[in-house]
């Protein structure tokens, strides 16, 4: 074994992707002390995304004073990679953990996200990756757009910053004042859901309740998003409601398309493109990936399958170490996964097994590597 690539997702609720890399890397070194190990921890766009990119590619973390979920001033951050690509976590200034005791889905804003985008662009970012994960907002990205110069007017012609509860008051949108630096910057929004902007499977009905929305508030938010989509189509000529993933992060996906001309990508696609994974695969003997649970959602193109598809093109075998695996994921083998190994050693409830995740992962990785070594 000369070269092995580690590229796992986090095991949600137990281990970060960086921790997974560290644990498995230690086991590789025990069995193959001369093996080159390439560690690429992956995040889905939520908390930890900046650190994952910096760990894999190098760069530095910058801080900025921006608006929090309730328009309060707070310190946030973004990562600037060595190739002048900036990475922003929406959750760093508009995330659920910031409003745990005072959720307000009708009043929270993405304004701070727009301020981070501006700060990164002014620092020289030629490309900005915005992770749309873990948000507490449902404002359709209007707050972020307003921070970058987009104007929203009500029926009286007065400009205002819309939130989820005031989307229906938008009468007109003017994007002509969008900061010119933003216009010259490539922006990619990374997300791992495919929900539409509104409707029964949309941002409000599916994700509103976890952000604190009651039944009536969910209905109000959904009506607001329908209205926003109609105004965007009328004023900007973009039918955002038809885009897959437009409902991501309280319809921030729709706002990124309409106001920032951003492209939406599955998180793993963004990571693989950014780290130039096809080149990293050169001369690799094995790829080890993984995630907390391998299920039908995984088969739609999340981390394990995204990695496996590219590795298959390079004829590199892929082993998936997972917290658990459903029985209906056999098609993963047709997508490039060579073998799947659940790490749990005993039939225990997750409330018990989660405290053993690190030792179970290490033991399973060791067993897999021992088998490989025995046949080498």
Read off the pLDDT of residues 10-40 as tens digits, 9 standing for 90 and up.
888 799 899 999 999 999 999 999 999 999 9
Q: How many domains does the chain have?
A: 2
Residue 113, sorted as left (phi over 0), alpha (psi -120 to 50) or beta, turns out to be alpha
3-class secondary-structure state, position 153: strand
* Amino acid 100: pLDDT: 83
Rounded to an integer, the average pLDDT of 238-257 is: 95
Q: Predicted confidence band at 328 (pLDDT cuts at 50, 70, 90)?
A: confident
The two structure tokens encoding residue 295: 């299920």
Q: What is the pLDDT of residues 137-149, one digit of tens each?
A: 999 999 999 999 9
| Gap between the Cα atoms of 242 and 246, Å rounded | 8
Question: Both 308 and 196 in a single domain?
Answer: no
Residue 282 lies in a domain: no
Mean pLDDT of the chain: 94
Residue 178 lies in a domain: yes
Q: Predicted confidence band at 74 (pLDDT cuts at 50, 70, 90)?
A: very high
Q: What is the pLDDT of residues 277-286, one digit of tens each?
A: 999 999 999 9
* Amino acid 355: pLDDT: 87
Question: Both 111 and 255 in a single domain?
Answer: yes
* Amino acid 47: pLDDT: 77
Question: Both 216 and 326 in a single domain?
Answer: no
Rounded to an integer, the average pLDDT of 313-334 is: 92
Residue 350 lies in a domain: yes
Residue 277 lies in a domain: no
Of 268, 299, 332, at which residue does a domain stop? 268
Question: Both 102 and 232 in a single domain?
Answer: yes
* Amino acid 300: pLDDT: 72
Residue 280 lies in a domain: no
* Amino acid 242: pLDDT: 86
The two structure tokens encoding residue 183: 């216009």
Q: What is the pLDDT of residues 291-310, one digit of tens each?
A: 988 887 777 768 899 999 99
Residue 276 lies in a domain: no
- 122-161 burial, b at 16+ Cβ within 10 Å, e below that, comes to eeebebbbbbbbbbbbbbbbbbbbbbbbbbbeeeeeeeeb
Q: What is the pLDDT of residues 129-139, one digit of tens each?
A: 999 988 999 99
Beta-strand relationship, 186-191 and 172-174: unpaired
* Amino acid 88: pLDDT: 97
Question: Both 92 and 25 in a single domain?
Answer: no
DSSP-assigned letter for residue 354: G
Question: Both 159 and 78 in a single domain?
Answer: yes
| Gap between the Cα atoms of 170 and 367, Å rounded | 59
Q: Is the pLDDT of residue 188 over 90?
A: yes
Question: Both 254 and 348 in a single domain?
Answer: no
Question: Both 179 and 245 in a single domain?
Answer: yes
Half-sphere exposure of 183 (CA within 13 A, CB side): 8
* Amino acid 172: pLDDT: 98
Q: Residue 60 burial by CB count (10 A; 0-12/13-18/19+): exposed, middle or buried?
A: exposed
The two structure tokens encoding residue 113: 């996200």
* Amino acid 123: pLDDT: 95
Give percent of the chain with pLDDT exceeding 70: 100
The domain containing residue 64 runs over which residues?
Answer: 49-268
* Amino acid 266: pLDDT: 86
Rounded to an integer, the average pLDDT of 41-63 is: 88
Of 236, 268, 300, at which residue does a domain stop? 268
Rounded to an integer, the average pLDDT of 193-221 is: 95
pTM over 0.75: yes
Q: Are 135 and 89 in contact (CB under 8 A)?
A: no
Residue 275 lies in a domain: no
Question: Both 128 and 233 in a single domain?
Answer: yes
Rounded to an integer, the average pLDDT of 211-220 is: 96
The two structure tokens encoding residue 176: 């002509």
Question: Both 162 and 201 in a single domain?
Answer: yes
Q: Is the pLDDT of residue 60 over 90?
A: yes
Q: Is the pLDDT of residue 189 over 80?
A: yes
Rounded to an integer, the average pLDDT of 168-184 is: 96
3-class secondary-structure state, position 200: coil
Domain CATH code at residue 309? 3.40.50.10350
Domain CATH code at residue 145? 3.90.1510.10
Q: What is the pLDDT of residues 79-125, one digit of tens each?
A: 999 999 999 999 999 999 999 889 999 999 999 999 999 999 999 99
Of 238, 268, 298, at which residue does a domain stop? 268
Q: Residue 238 burial by CB count (10 A; 0-12/13-18/19+): exposed, middle or buried?
A: middle
Question: Both 249 and 307 in a single domain?
Answer: no
Residue 218 lies in a domain: yes
Question: Both 298 and 263 in a single domain?
Answer: no
Q: Predicted confidence band at 164 (pLDDT cuts at 50, 70, 90)?
A: very high
Q: Is the pLDDT of residue 65 over 90?
A: yes
């Amino acid at each position: 074994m000369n070269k092995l690539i580690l590229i796992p997702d986090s095991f949600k609720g137990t281990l970060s992707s960086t921790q997974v890399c560290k644990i498995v890397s230690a086991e590789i070194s025990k069995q193959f002390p001369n093996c080159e190990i390439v560690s690429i921890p992956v995040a889905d766009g939520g908390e930890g995304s900046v650190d994952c990119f910096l760990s894999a590619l190098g760069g530095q973390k910058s801080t900025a004073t921006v608006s929090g979920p309730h328009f309060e001033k707070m310190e946030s951050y973004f990562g600037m990679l060595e190739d002048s690509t900036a990475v922003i976590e929406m959750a760093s200034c508009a995330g659920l953990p910031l409003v745990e005791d005072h959720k307000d889905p009708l009043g929270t804003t993405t304004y701070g996200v727009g301020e981070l985008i501006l700060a990164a662009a002014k620092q020289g970012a030629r490309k900005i990756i915005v992770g749309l994960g873990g948000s507490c907002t449902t404002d359709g990205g209007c707050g972020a757009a307003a921070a970058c110069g987009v104007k929203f007017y009500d029926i009286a012609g007065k400009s205002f910053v819309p939130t989820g509860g005031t989307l229906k008051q938008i009468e007109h949108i003017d994007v002509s004042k969008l900061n010119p630096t933003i216009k010259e910057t490539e922006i990619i929004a990374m997300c791992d859901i495919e929900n539409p902007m509104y409707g029964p499977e949309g941002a409000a009905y599916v994700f509103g309740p976890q952000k604190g929305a009651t039944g009536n508030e969910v209905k109000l938010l959904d009506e607001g998003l329908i209205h926003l989509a109609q105004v965007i189509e009328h004023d900007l000529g973009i039918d955002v409601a038809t885009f897959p993933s437009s409902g991501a992060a309280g319809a921030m996906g729709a706002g990124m398309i309409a106001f920032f001309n951003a492209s939406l990508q599955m998180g793993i696609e963004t990571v693989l493109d950014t780290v130039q994974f096809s080149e990293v695969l050169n001369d690799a003997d094995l790829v080890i990936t993984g995630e907390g649970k391998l299920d039908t959602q995984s088969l739609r193109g999340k981390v394990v399958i995204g990695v496996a598809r590219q590795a298959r093109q390079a004829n590199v075998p892929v082993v998936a170490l997972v917290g658990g695996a459903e029985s209906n994921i056999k098609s993963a083998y047709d997508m490039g996964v060579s073998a799947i190994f659940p790490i749990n050693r005993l039939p225990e409830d997750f409330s018990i097994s989660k405290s053993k995740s690190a030792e179970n992962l290490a033991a399973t990785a060791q067993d897999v590597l021992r088998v490989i070594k025995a046949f080498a």
